[in-house]
Structure 1
C-alpha cells in the first residue's frame, strides 16, 4: 500500500512538473516580428529604384531583364535575380516590399520607405560627375537628409491645419510610429568595391580608407538616434521622432566576389581554403571588426536603443564552408555573366550586350530563358551583387538569432510565408 501511495505521489509530481513546463513555454513564446514600417539606407545591395529614378540612362539596366527573374519575374529596379536582403527582411517582419523615396508613380509607402541608392558610398561625395560609371552622389549624409525631409512631409500630411481631412491623401506610415519601426543600414560596399573595380585605389590604399568608411556609417547611425527640433510655420516647435531599432549589416568577403576574383586573381595571387583572395578579404575583415567595435560603443552610449549587428560576412563564410547545406554548387561564380573561371567579364556585364574578342554576347535574356541553369546555386547574381540565395540565407539567420548580436537578435517570431513567392 505504501508503495502504491509512493507511485501515485510520484505521478502527481511528474504531471505537475510537466504542466509547469507547458505553462512556462506558453508564457515565454516569442511575439511576432511585426513593425509598423521598415526603412533602409545603403547602396545597390539595397536600392529598389532611387538612383534609376534620378539617373534613368545611367542605371537603365536595373529595370531590364534578366534582373528579377525569380522575383517579381520581371526586372523591378533591383540588381539581383529575386529578392534583396531588404525584401526578405520586410517580408519576414510582416511587411510588403519597400518602395524607394524617389519613386514617382505607383508607390505605396504605407509600410516604410527605402532611401538606399545604387552607387552610393558611406562617405560624403565631394566631387561627382554625371555618368561617371556606377556611381551616384547619394551618400549616407544625403540619404539622411532625405529621411529628415520625409518626416517633415509626413507631418504636413497629418496636420489638420496644413492638410485638412480629405483634401490630400497619401499612403504613408504614421509619424508617431517612427520610433517603433525597423531601420536597416547596409553601407560601405560601394566605397571599397568600386574603388578597386575602377582601379582608382590599390588594395593597400583601399585598406587605408576603412576607418573613414566606418566613421561615416557610425555618424549616420548617431544622426538617426539624435532628436531634432523642427519649427513648423506658425505653429509651436516640436521634436521629431527618432529611430529606436536599427539593424546594421556588415560586408560580405570582397575576395570571394566573382568580379574581384576575375580582376585580381592570377598565378601570383594568394588564395584561402575557399578559393577567395586573401588580400581583399583582409579589407572586409578590418571593416567588419571595426564596425562591430563601434556598434558595441554605440550600445553603451545609447542604452535605450536596440542596435543589432547582422554578420553577413559570417553567413557568406558558412555557405562557403558547407555549400551543400544550402544547395549551392557554384559559390564563386556569377549566375548572370560570361567567361573565365568565375563567369564574369567586365566588358559585357549582366543586362548588357556587346562584343568580346569578336564574339557577340547577349546578357539580356528574359523568361522563360534563364541566365544560368540554376540561379539558386550561386551566391553572386551578376558577379557584383549578392543573389537571392545569399540574401535569403542571411535574413533567415538574422531573424532566427544566428549571425547577429546581441545574442537573441530580434527576439521575435518571423514570418516565412512569402519567402519564395514571386509576387
Structure 2
C-alpha cells in the first residue's frame, strides 16, 4: 500500500474511533427528564395567562391563524406553532405547560407557566387597562403567583387540610420543585413595545437596560432564596426553591420586521444582515449585562445551575446561513401585509382592515396559510418569534450549543414530538 493509502486508512480509522467515542459519550448522558417545567416572562412564553385575565384584549391569541402548525395545543400562543417553552418541555420529556390562570382543562402535573403577554421585567407602578399590549403582570407579580402556588400545592398535599380523596388536582409534587427546570425569558416587552408604541426614543430605550436586567436578576435571586411558610395549626416549613434555571437572552431587536418597518429608511444604519444597527445595540447591551449578572449569581449560588441561553446567537447564526435552516425570508413576517417586511401597524396578524384602500383579512388560516411557507420565516407576525426560530433555539440549548456553562443541561433530550401537531 502506498503512502497515500496508508495515510487514508489511518484517517478512516481515526474518524471511526472518534465517532465511537462521541457515540459512547452521547450514550453516557442521562435522559433529560425533569419532573416539571416552570416558566416566567412575556408573550414569547405565555400560553394563556393574559387572555385569561383580559379575554377581550387578547382574544386573537387563541384564534386562527395562530397555531397553524400546532393545532391541538396552540390556542393562546402568539406563534405559528410551538413556543420555545413548548419545545423545551417536549425536549425534557414533558408535555406543553399550562398557564396558572387557566380556569378549564389545565393539567399542571408537569409544571406551570407564569409568563404573561405584555408583561415587562420591571415592576409596573402605573397601569391603564386600555394601554396597548401591556399588562400589570411583571416579573415580581409572576413570582408572587409562584409563591402562592406552592402554598396551594402544599394545601392539596396536606392530609390535615385535604384528607385523601376529598380534593383531587392535577398538580406537580412540591417535593420535586427543586428538581424541576425553570425558564426565565424576559425583557423583550420592556424594549420592544416602548419602541413600538413610541413611548421612548431609541436613545431613551438604551438607558433602561440597567433597570431591565436588574429586574431579571432580582427575579432569579428570589427563585433561589428559601422562604419560610407558617401554615395554620402546623409547624413552619421552608418552601423548596429552584436549582436549575435557564435564563434566555433577547434576539436582535433590529432584525424584527416591526422594528425594521417603523425605524428603517434612507437615514437608518443597517448591518451586514440588513438589520438596524442602533436597535441591535440595545439588545447587545442587555445581553452583555445579563451575562455578567449570571456569572456573578453563579459565584453567589454555587449549588444552583444557572444557564445562560443565547437566543441572540441562534438568531445571528440563522441570519449568517439561512439556507441551512431552510429560511428564505429571515427579515419578513409570515402573518402580515405590506411593505418590505410584510408588516403594517394598521392591520396585524389576527385582525382585518383596510391597507392602501384594500380589505385585508389576517384572521384565518383558511383556505391557505398566511404566507406560502411559514417555516421559511424567523418572525411569525412581525413581532413574535416563529416556530422555526423557537425550534432551532430549543434544539441548540438542549444539545449544549449557544448555552453556558458548556454542555448546558448535560443530558440527552427527546426530539420525538418536535414536529408533531398533537
> TM-score, normalized by length of structure 1?
0.94
> Quick check: 1:91 aligned with 2:114?
no
Measure the CA separation in 2 of the matches of 1:188 and 1:215. Answer: 10
Q: What's the CA shift for 1:287?
A: 0.1
Structure 2 counterpart of 1:138: 137
Provide the secondary structure at the position in 2 that maps to 1:308.
Answer: strand
Unaligned 5+ residue runs, structure 1? 1-13
Provide the secondary structure at the position in 2 that maps to 1:280.
Answer: helix
From the superposition, tell whether residues 204 and 22 of structure 1 become closer, same or farther in structure 2 (CA, over 3 Å): closer
Equivalent positions of 1:263-412 (< 5 A) are 263-412=262-411
Equivalent positions of 1:64-143 (< 5 A) are 64-72=63-71, 75-143=74-142
From the superposition, tell whether residues 297 and 70 of structure 1 become closer, same or farther in structure 2 (CA, over 3 Å): same
Structure 2 counterpart of 1:417: 416
- Residues 67, 74 of structure 1: 8 Å contact kept: no
Structure 1 counterpart of 2:215: 216
Q: What's the CA shift for 1:355?
A: 1.3
From the superposition, tell whether residues 146 and 211 of structure 1 become closer, same or farther in structure 2 (CA, over 3 Å): same
From the superposition, tell whether residues 159 and 134 of structure 1 become closer, same or farther in structure 2 (CA, over 3 Å): same
From the superposition, tell whether residues 178 and 283 of structure 1 become closer, same or farther in structure 2 (CA, over 3 Å): same
Structure 2 counterpart of 1:56: 55
Structure 2 counterpart of 1:35: 34
Measure the CA separation in 2 of the matches of 1:319 and 1:24. Answer: 27
- Residues 257, 383 of structure 2: 8 Å contact kept: yes
Measure the CA separation in 2 of the matches of 1:343 and 1:147. Answer: 38
Q: What's the CA shift for 1:357?
A: 2.6
From the superposition, tell whether residues 26 and 378 of structure 1 become closer, same or farther in structure 2 (CA, over 3 Å): closer
> Quick check: 1:188 aligned with 2:182?
no
Give a deviation string over 1:227-276, Cα, whole Å, max 9, x none: 00000001110000000000000000000000000000000000000000
From the superposition, tell whether residues 23 and 266 of structure 1 become closer, same or farther in structure 2 (CA, over 3 Å): closer
Provide the secondary structure at the position in 2 that maps to 1:239.
Answer: strand
Give a deviation string over 1:148-194, Cα, whole Å, max 9, x none: 00000000000000000000000011000000000000000000000
From the superposition, tell whether residues 27 and 59 of structure 1 become closer, same or farther in structure 2 (CA, over 3 Å): closer
RMSD: 1.6
Q: What's the CA shift for 1:24?
A: 11
Provide the secondary structure at the position in 2 that maps to 1:248.
Answer: strand
Question: In terms of mean alpha carbon deviation, does 73-82 or 137-146 score higher?
Answer: 73-82
**Could you list the runs of 4 or more consecutive aligned residues of structure 1 that deviate by over 3 angstroms after TM superposition?**
21-28
- Residues 26, 412 of structure 2: 8 Å contact kept: no
From the superposition, tell whether residues 60 and 110 of structure 1 become closer, same or farther in structure 2 (CA, over 3 Å): same
> TM-score, normalized by length of structure 2?
0.94
Provide the secondary structure at the position in 1 that maps to 2:184.
Answer: strand
Measure the CA separation in 2 of the matches of 1:54 and 1:202. Answer: 30
Q: What's the CA shift for 1:41?
A: 0.1
Equivalent positions of 1:5-44 (< 5 A) are 25=24, 29-44=28-43
Measure the CA separation in 1 of the matches of 2:111 and 2:130. Answer: 30
